[in-house]
Chain A
Amino acid sequence: MKKTLTTCPYCGTGCMYYLVSDENNKITGIEPTANHPVSKNWVCVKGWNSFHFVNHPDRLKVPQIRKNGKMEQATWNEALDHVIARLREIRDKYGNDSIMFFSSAKTTNEENYLMMKLARAVFKTNNVDHCARLCHASTVVGLATTFGSGAMTNSISCVDEADLIFVTGSNTTEQHPLIGTRILNAVQKGAKLIVADNRKIRLARHAVLHLKHKNGTDVALANAMMNVIIGEGLEDKEFVANRTENYENLKKTVEKYTPEYAAEITGLKPEEIIEAARMFAKAKKAMIIYSMGITQHSHGVDNVKSMANLVMLTGNLGKPGTGVNPLRGQNNVQGACDMGALPNVYSGYQKVTEENIRARFEKAWGVENLPSNVGYTVTTAINAAAEGKLKAIYIMGENPMMSDPDQNHVREALEKLEFLVVQDIFPTPTAKFAHVVLPASSYAEKDGTFTSTERRVQRVRKAIDPPGQSRSDWEILCDVAERMGYKQMKYKNPGEIMDEIASVTPIYGGISFDRIDQLGLQWPCPDKNHPGTPVLHVGKFTRGLGLFCAVEYKPSMELPDKEYPFCLSTGRCYFHFHTGTMTRRSRILDREERFPFVEINTSDAKNLGIRNREYIMVATRRGEVKAMARVTDGIVPGVIFMTFHFEEGPANLLTINALDPEAKIPEYKVCAAKVRKIS
């Protein structure tokens, strides 16, 4: 029996626990830790089952190469030689930017760092991105513009101190369960909760005010709340005067968003907006918690800026119990962004367009001519591949066939590629298109770090050996670099990689495996003696003054019409994670949600003669998917909701490939759909 302290591979809450393993190299269960500040004694159902996919028979164990259209087993030597030979050919023929690297928020910081180093130092392209593009790209852009730092401003424990919690676009008890329970407990102790979300999520049952505004009308709601706050003189005048700039602009923009005007757009009653505004402004300490409901829109950045505006206007920043708190979805999506697995920045959000920064990385990595043009994003790369402009993609632990919008479009793009490498732990739908498949090890089989949503850098530890010939992503990436003739990507262990990260990344400057041996540190942590930073922007914003960014309401790209009368919104359920590769291979979790389903309001179902649990067809302009009807009053009439976990009923066959112009995040939350009975 061995017990290994590690970090949960599912959500960004960042619970730590012990993996219990036996003499046969098998994990037999998990044991909570009693001492972790977030997961003290607790884990959610995903955490309790987070070991169960590890030993699943479907694990990829041997490298494979496509030969005459068929995948055949190969040795590591053959597979990696083939990878570099093909990538070299393509690079020489079409140029550096014809190759794209998909990093992964599921892998460790060290691996993300190496992926971006491989792309930049070895292949000389900034074409590197990962799935943050699909979840919080709008946050990174929006909050970096307004505050200078695109991360959760406060800590999870701040929930306990807030007087008012405004939750919007986050089904917290299902998606960040142990943050959700903190909100429930805060409410028990007297904090007020406002939920702005038109699904009747669990938190809504505990809210003093449940605003069921129409999907995609968040800017109108926020602007109207600010209109009321300014109109009634409830703004924090001192904070606005001393800590922010561009206030007059905001004031002017929100002038026309009277509660009545916004009520038209949002479908709310003017009084509801007024009440929410007053409660928010009058609370001593108010915080906003948001997630995909805010970010996954063609105006996702505007939504994020609105949240930032509202919080600055009321002075709820830079102190415990307040802030703008985007909950990052994946275990390491914060870290993957921090590591610069993004097309425009190196680790620590240092811009590739700035010469002195490039020079610093050139020196550190011993290379010349690092590229200065911003690369493709995950989403624009798929578009470029479909147009034939991008020729090869190296994917580490991502599954665009299931996760990206408009599956047929993704299929077309992947089919057009001259070369596709998929490095993963399971045979994903994306791997079906691969020319080379590389078996990777899971979180339980390697060392490294994940960074949680509260910017806490925490240890991941190897509990057992990887199955078959599979290897850690970091080892594979180092091997590729070495075969490409690059000498400065050799490490004895991930601790050494972190030391390099710390040396080139000011916000991680004080992080080392020694210091985070038991408990992680929250960045910014600039030097070895720095205790970490629980609350950002205390006394001063990262960018100096907070910038009010006034935004106008823009409707979503594809609104319901006569032919497609429903608004389709997509997301996740409690028991599954993203494309389901791990949770659907975990016994208990898979049992809980076994079928693709679509939530539909009782009255809509009645009108269409649809019964609960009956299979129906859901169609959009992109295609048609069969799913089981879940007839419920938890969703408002006119809206339907699906999850993207199910290969046999992929919601992303239906979603629209409409992107936010700045963040390039897809509009997963709104598109027009119709449903019909299967006769």
Chain B
Amino acid sequence: MKSLTITEIEQFLKSVEPEFDLRVPIRLHDGTRSLGGLNEGPLSLMGGKIPLKPTSVFFPQTERVFTRESDGEIKMEKPGEKPILVVGYTAEDADCLEFIDKFFSENFRDDLYFQKRDGSVIMVVSGKCGPDGGFLKIAGGKCDLELICDGERFIAQAYTEKGRQLEKKMKASKEVGDIDSLKKMSDELPDDDLKTIQKASELILAEKVPDAFWVEIGDRCIACTSCNYACPTCTCFEVYDRVHDGTTVRERMWDSCQLDGFMREASGHNPMGTEDIRTRRRIHHKLAADVTRWGHLTCYLCGRCDDACPTNIGIKSVSRMIVERYSQANEK
């Protein structure tokens, strides 16, 4: 297996730049890590998840759906010239992407999403390159190629044909035999958070969480929408038209279930008219409603809503509170 230094990875990325629209981990002006082109900032492979919603690469905050010229002609948006190459998803991000692929193709395919997604290549970064030297879970699949850090170098593991093609283009100064020890470390990562949200999910489904709890939590929600806007599996959007000199532009933009207007009916009636119901719904959706609909949780513990919520009501902290208060073991 090829084992690359950061410089070798950078050289590889430069070599494929003509073919791909690169979205790789970089540092922006004030050091914030982001996904972007190599010209947008220095490469930043270490440090774990990128704060922004990683799926925004395929589902950006706003995007044009179509343009209707003043003569009535409708122009659909065209796909970009080059396929997108993403480097720097975590294993959890790859899980999230897998889910929203499913979501956006259910019933009818969301063209706008798949215009970007089709042909794209996903490279997960994992191993000993988390924040403060922490270990990032190894995906072991769900992406085209994985770069697994052994603390110094990154070992390339391809999982798909596209991944293998790219792996061939990588020039590595070293080869390694196996990554078993790294895989073992990954397998041994604690799964407390998963257990917590699974337990919280069970408690919610069993109707063990009283309304008063959601009132208490909702009282702290300032409807900033960051939890939704950071979450890789949040996919809700709002559609609107703007008319510029006779040309109508239809666009869509991220919406948020933490907002009153999200479900408000034209009459003013709102089935989700208070923060407690909205907060309940957000958590409920990922941990209960989706379990019924898809057969699994749709939170993959990427950790972003907990980072993004300014009042500590991300899914992990809420789940922790639910389990502490309402699981039978603790009820006694």
Binding site for B on A (CB under 8 A): 1-3, 5, 16, 18, 20, 28-36, 41-45, 47-48, 52, 55-57, 173-174, 177-178, 180-182, 184-185, 188, 202, 205-206, 517-519, 574, 587-588, 591-592, 613
Contacts and interface: CB of A to CB of B under 8 A. Distances in A.
B181 to A, nearest CB: 31
Contact of A48 (B225, B238, B268): B225
B226 interface: yes
B307 interface: yes
A1 to B, nearest CB: 6
B60 A592 contact: no
B242 interface: yes
B222 A587 contact: no
Interface in B226-251: 226, 229, 238, 240, 242-245
Given A173-B222, A588-B238, A591-B238, A5 B311 contact: no
B101 interface: no
B72 to A, nearest CB: 19
Given A48-B226, A185-B312, A205-B219, A36 B30 contact: yes
B33 interface: yes
Contacts of A517: 29
B36 A1 contact: yes
Given A31-B52, A41-B51, A48-B229, A587 B36 contact: no
Given A30-B61, A35-B30, A173-B222, 7 more contacts: A29-B253, A34-B31, A41-B51, A56-B242, A184-B220, A206-B219, A519-B30
B62 A28 contact: yes
Given A41-B51, A587-B253, A28 B61 contact: yes
Interface string B5-47: 0000000000000000000000011111110110010000000
Interface string B281-308: 0000000000000000000000000011
A476 B206 CA distance: 65
Interface stretch (B92-100, B191-199, B255-263): B255-263
Contacts of A20: 60-61
Contact of A32 (B51, B254, B255, B259): B51
Contacts of A180: 222
B20 to A, nearest CB: 14
Contacts of B51: 32, 34, 41
Given A28-B63, A57-B243, A206-B219, A35 B224 contact: no
B60 A44 contact: no
B159 to A, nearest CB: 27
B182 interface: no
Contacts of B119: none
**Most chain B beta-carbon contacts within 10 A, residue among A31, A42, A173, A185:** A31
B308 A42 contact: yes
B62 A188 contact: no
Contact of B32 (A33, A44, A178): A33
Given A5-B29, A41-B307, A31 B222 contact: no
A592 B259 contact: yes
Contacts of A519: 30
28 contacts: A1-B40, A2-B40, A3-B29, A3-B34, A3-B40, A20-B60, A28-B60, A29-B56, A31-B32, A31-B34, A34-B33, A35-B31, A36-B30, A41-B307, A41-B308, A42-B224, A45-B256, A48-B225, A52-B253, A57-B242, A57-B245, A181-B224, A184-B222, A188-B312, A206-B219, A587-B238, A587-B240, A588-B261
A17 B259 CA distance: 22
Contact of B268 (A16, A44, A613): A613
A586 B61 CA distance: 13
A101 to B, nearest CB: 33
Contacts of B62: 28-29, 52
A478 to B, nearest CB: 27
Contacts of B60: 20, 28-29
Contacts of B56: 29
A515 B303 CA distance: 34
Nearest to A459: B29
Given A57-B243, A592-B261, A181 B311 contact: yes
B38 to A, nearest CB: 12
B205 interface: no
Nearest to B310: A181
A45 B223 contact: yes
Nearest to A206: B219
Contact of A33 (B30, B220, B222, B261): B30
The 10 closest A-B pairs by CB, nearest first: A29-B61, A181-B310, A591-B261, A5-B29, A34-B32, A518-B30, A57-B244, A44-B224, A42-B310, A33-B32
A177 B260 CA distance: 17
A517 B224 CA distance: 27
B-side interface size class = 35 or more
Given A32-B226, A56-B242, A178 B310 contact: yes
Contacts of B245: 57
B257 to A, nearest CB: 12
B70 to A, nearest CB: 13
Nearest to B220: A184
Contacts of A206: 219-220
A181 B224 CA distance: 10
Contacts of B37: 1
A202 B30 contact: no
**Most chain B beta-carbon contacts within 10 A, residue among A35, A56, A182, A185:** A35
Nearest to A16: B30
A177 B220 contact: no
B87 to A, nearest CB: 15
A45 B308 contact: no
B141 to A, nearest CB: 29
A588 B255 contact: yes
B223 A185 contact: no
B253 A588 contact: yes
Nearest to A205: B219
Contacts of B219: 202, 205-206
A18 B32 contact: yes
Contacts of B261: 588, 591-592
A66 to B, nearest CB: 23
A3 B33 CA distance: 12
A518 B27 CA distance: 13
B44 to A, nearest CB: 11
A48 B259 CA distance: 13
**Most chain B beta-carbon contacts within 10 A, residue among A30, A57, A517:** A57
A28 B52 CA distance: 14
Contacts of A47: 224
Nearest to A3: B28
A3 B226 contact: no
A178 B37 CA distance: 31
A16 B254 CA distance: 20
Contacts of A518: 29-31
A173 B220 CA distance: 9
Contacts of A188: 220, 311-312
A205 B238 CA distance: 31
Contacts of A32: 32, 51-52, 226, 308
A67 to B, nearest CB: 23
A157 to B, nearest CB: 14
A305 B208 CA distance: 52
A42 B229 CA distance: 11
Contacts of A1: 36-37, 40
Contacts of B61: 20, 28-30, 48
A32 B60 CA distance: 14
A3 B41 CA distance: 10
A45 B259 contact: yes
A517 B28 CA distance: 12
A588 B220 CA distance: 21
Nearest to A46: B224
B73 to A, nearest CB: 19
A178 B311 CA distance: 9
Nearest to B216: A205
Contacts of B253: 29, 52, 587-588
